[in-house]
Structure 1
Amino acid sequence: MRKKVLIVTQNFYPAIGSAGNRMRNIFRLLSEESIEVEVLTIEPSYPNKSMYQDQKFWDDEVVNNSLDKIKRVPIKSRKFTNRILSRLFFYLEIMYRFTFELFKRRKDNYDYIYVSTPPIFIVFSAWIGKKLMKSKLILEVRDLWPDSLIGVQTMDHKWIIGLFQKLEKKMYRMADLIVINSIGFKEHIEAKLKKEKTIIYLPNGPRKEEIIEDKGSSEKFRVIYAGNLGLAQDIGRLKKMAQVLDSYNIHFDVLGYGMKTDSFRTFIDESKLSNIELHEPTTRQESLALIAQSDLSIAFLNDAAVFSTVLPGKIIDYMTCQTPVIAGVTGTAASLITNHHTGFVFEYRDTDKMIDKILELKEQPHKLELLRNNCKKTVEDHFLWEKNIKELSKFLK
Structure 2
Amino acid sequence: MIDKKKESLMIITNYYPPEIGAASNRIFHLAEGLSSDYTVKVVTPLPNYPTGRIFKDYRNKFTSKSIENGIQIHRLWIFASVSKNKISRLLAMLSYSFSLILYFLRQRTPNKVIIQSPPLIVAFISIFLLKSKKRKIILNVSDLWPRAGLELGALKKNWFYSVLRQMERFNYLNSNIILGQSNEILKHVSEINPKAKTHLYRNYPIIELKEIPTIEKSNKSLTIVYAGLLGVAQGILKLCQNLDFTDIELHIYGSGAEEKEILDFMQKHPTLPIFMHGKLDRNQLHNELMNYDLAIVPLIKRIYGSVPSKIFEFSKLGLPLLYFGGGEGEKIIHNYKLGWVADVGNYENLNSIIETIKSNGLEIQQKKDIQVRANKAFSFEGQLLDLKKTI
Distance change >3 Å, CA 378–CA 85, structure 1 → 2 = farther
Q: What amino acid sits opposite 2:83 in the alignment?
A: T
Q: Answer yes or no: is 1:343 the counterpart of 2:339.
A: yes
- 1:217-236 aligned at under 5 Å gives the runs 217-220=215-218, 221-236=222-237
Distance change >3 Å, CA 68–CA 192, structure 1 → 2 = closer
CA deviation map 1:140-171 (0-9, x unaligned): 00110001111121222422111111111110
> Is the 8 Å Cα contact of residues 288 and 317 (structure 1) preserved in structure 2?
no
2:253 alignment partner, SS class? strand
Structure 1 length-normalised TM: 0.88
| Cα distance in 1 between the residues matched to 2:356 and 2:134 | 59
Q: What amino acid sits opposite 2:263 in the alignment?
A: R
| Cα distance in 1 between the residues matched to 2:335 and 2:366 | 12
Q: Which residue pairs with 1:136 in the alignment? A: 136
- 1:77-226 aligned at under 5 Å gives the runs 77-106=79-108, 108=109, 110-131=110-131, 133-193=133-193, 195-207=194-206, 209-220=207-218, 221-226=222-227
| Cα distance in 2 between the residues matched to 1:192 and 1:392 | 23
2:23 alignment partner, SS class? helix
Q: CA deviation at 1:6?
A: 0.4
CA deviation map 1:155-206 (0-9, x unaligned): 224221111111111101100001111222111111010x422211111122
Structure 2 length-normalised TM: 0.89
Q: Which residue pairs with 1:393 in the alignment? A: 388
Distance change >3 Å, CA 205–CA 368, structure 1 → 2 = farther
> Is the 8 Å Cα contact of residues 113 and 126 (structure 1) preserved in structure 2?
no
Distance change >3 Å, CA 211–CA 173, structure 1 → 2 = farther
> Is the 8 Å Cα contact of residues 234 and 298 (structure 2) preserved in structure 1?
yes
Distance change >3 Å, CA 310–CA 38, structure 1 → 2 = same
Deviates most, 182-191 or 215-224: 215-224
Distance change >3 Å, CA 50–CA 290, structure 1 → 2 = farther
Q: Which runs of 5 or more residues in structure 2 are unaligned?
A: 59-65
> Is the 8 Å Cα contact of residues 327 and 354 (structure 1) preserved in structure 2?
no
Q: Which residue pairs with 1:38 in the alignment? A: 41
Distance change >3 Å, CA 308–CA 120, structure 1 → 2 = closer
Q: Which residue pairs with 1:18 in the alignment? A: 22
Q: CA deviation at 1:274?
A: 5.7
Q: CA deviation at 1:118?
A: 0.8
Q: CA deviation at 1:368?
A: 4.1
CA deviation map 1:85-124 (0-9, x unaligned): 2111110111110121112114x5x120110011112223
| Cα distance in 2 between the residues matched to 1:213 and 1:17 | 23
| Cα distance in 2 between the residues matched to 1:133 and 1:31 | 23
Give the alignment's Cα RMSD to 1 decimal: 2.4
Q: Which residue pairs with 1:60 in the alignment? A: none
Deviates most, 376-385 or 81-90: 376-385
How many residues end up aligned between the 2 structures? 377
Q: Which residue pairs with 1:59 in the alignment? A: none
Q: What amino acid sits opposite 2:195 in the alignment?
A: E
More helix by share: 1
Q: Answer yes or no: is 1:253 the counterpart of 2:251.
A: yes
Distance change >3 Å, CA 50–CA 308, structure 1 → 2 = closer
Q: CA deviation at 1:14?
A: 1.5
Q: What amino acid sits opposite 2:76 in the alignment?
A: V
Q: CA deviation at 1:319?
A: 0.8
| Cα distance in 1 between the residues matched to 2:212 and 2:367 | 10
Q: What amino acid sits opposite 1:267 in the alignment?
A: F
Q: CA deviation at 1:3?
A: 2.2
> Is the 8 Å Cα contact of residues 336 and 374 (structure 2) preserved in structure 1?
no
Q: CA deviation at 1:352?
A: 3.2
1:216 alignment partner, SS class? coil
> Is the 8 Å Cα contact of residues 126 and 137 (structure 1) preserved in structure 2?
no
Q: What amino acid sits opposite 1:196 in the alignment?
A: K
Distance change >3 Å, CA 385–CA 73, structure 1 → 2 = same
- 1:270-309 aligned at under 5 Å gives the runs 270-273=268-271, 275-304=273-302, 307-309=303-305
Q: What amino acid sits opposite 1:153 in the alignment?
A: G
Q: What amino acid sits opposite 2:209 in the alignment?
A: I
| Cα distance in 2 between the residues matched to 1:85 and 1:136 | 33
Q: Which residue pairs with 2:378 in the alignment? A: 383
Q: What amino acid sits opposite 1:19 in the alignment?
A: A
Q: CA deviation at 1:15?
A: 1.1
Q: CA deviation at 1:236?
A: 4.8
| Cα distance in 2 between the residues matched to 1:218 and 1:317 | 24
Q: What amino acid sits opposite 1:355 in the alignment?
A: N
Q: Which runs of 5 or more residues in structure 1 are unaligned?
A: 56-62
